Amino acid sequence: MNKHTESCFCHDLQQLLEEQEKLSLKGFRFVCESIGYDTIPFIISNQECRFEAFGRSVTGNCFITPVFRLEKLDINHCCAVLSLLEPVDIDGCPMEFCDEVYSLIKTQECIIVDLSCFCALEPLSPKLVDRPLPIIEPK
């Protein structure tokens, strides 16, 4: 990957972090309702495949995820701290990431990533993060 592509990717993540902070309504003087979202989930990939990481859920189970939250960005060194988001189905059970994912659960698991390895960024809907599971009434 050339330096220009690396720089563009880091700047894209910098913009994502800025938008994530705006969505969370941090830094506003007169707006203090918690109506915002604090995460823009995303997938990153290189020219061959999407990046995945192993983590441990809040329940202690191991999981694999390609979905992350940007925690910190070092634009000078083009690296970032990412937290892992655990994909779950409509019943709250861990699952592989696919179109059937109902929610992305925040975890305390973080990794440091050299962003020069990546060239594609796919943001997902902030509404997926910690989406409440539906209440199913017994029949």
Domain membership of residue 54 as a residue range: 3-128
Work out the mean pLDDT of the chain and round it to a whole number: 87
Q: Is residue 134 part of a domain?
A: no
Sorting pLDDT into bands at 50, 70 and 90, what band is 2?
very low
Q: Is residue 136 part of a domain?
A: no
DSSP 81: E
Q: Is residue 115 part of a domain?
A: yes
The pTM for the full model equals 0.84
- For 77, the token pair is 């060194």
Q: Is residue 21 part of a domain?
A: yes
Q: Is residue 70 part of a domain?
A: yes
Structural domain total, the chain: 1
Residues 95 and 103: their CA atoms lie apart, in Å, by: 10
Q: What is the pLDDT of residues 51-93, one digit of tens each?
A: 999 998 878 889 999 999 999 999 999 999 999 999 999 988 8
Q: Is residue 133 part of a domain?
A: no
Q: Is residue 73 part of a domain?
A: yes
